[in-house]
Amino acid sequence: MYSPLMSTSERLIEATRELLWERGYVGTSPKAIQRQAGVGQGSMYHHFSGKPDLALAAIRRTADEMRATAEALLGGPGTAHERIAAYLLRERDVLRGCPIGRLTTDPDVIADDALRAPVDETLAWLRGRLATVVDEGRESGELSAALVPSEVAATIVATVQGGYVLARASGSTAAFDAGVRGLLALLASPTAQGS
């Protein structure tokens, strides 16, 4: 499953990332991590003090990857609306859900300040980055000056995360896609543009 060139610690982190996304924290046992990574118990505990330490490394890696993907789109070329559209329309495994957003429903992650921190920090960063793009759109006159960037940013994040939930519940990407199209239409409407 993993490249033979990957270090043991890398295989452990990648295996944990996959299992957390698939099963959540409780469902991700050290034995399952070791089996998926193809390593023994001694190797795991040589690199990490235990499951919480390894889970934190995996969550941080996932958070960093999510930020990099979002920044590439939100910081790329185009108008504010085009950059928001690029973020909303990017390739996603919608039926699998968001690997960070799914952790918000995991009681063991939420109850642990260290594990919850990268989840909260990433979602806060995303709202802040989106708010900056919305503000740029307001400043350029592309978007209505009446829009509150932080509120629009929260709406974008809520649309994506809620879309994942609706898609998973129905077993279809249709609700996610409809939410994205609706939000983009609202942002492109004459009212949103201040016309």
Q: Residue-wise pLDDT tens for the chain (195 aa)?
A: 566 678 999 999 999 999 999 999 989 999 999 999 999 888 888 899 989 999 999 999 999 999 999 999 999 999 999 999 999 999 999 999 999 999 999 999 999 999 999 999 999 999 999 999 999 999 999 999 999 999 999 999 999 999 999 999 999 999 999 999 999 999 987 655 554
As a whole number of angstroms, the longest Cα–Cα distance in the chain is 65
Q: How many CB atoms lie within 10 A of CB 98?
A: 21
Dihedral pair phi/psi, residue 56, rounded to 5°: -60, -45
- Tokens 């939420």 belong to which residue? 110
Contacts for 62 with CB less than 8 Å, ≥ 6 apart: 17, 20, 21, 99, 100
Q: Which run of H or of E encompasses 177? A: helix 174-188
By the 10 Å C-beta count (0-12 exposed, 13-18 middle, 19+ buried), 6 is classed as middle
Domains of the chain are 61-193 (1.10.357.10)
- pTM of the prediction? 0.90
The type of residue at 10 is E
Encoding tokens for residue 105? Answer: 């429903």
Query: Which amino acid is located at 131 in the chain?
Result: A
Q: Are 120 and 157 in contact (CB under 8 A)?
A: no
Contacts of 140 (CB under 8 A, 6+ apart): 79, 80
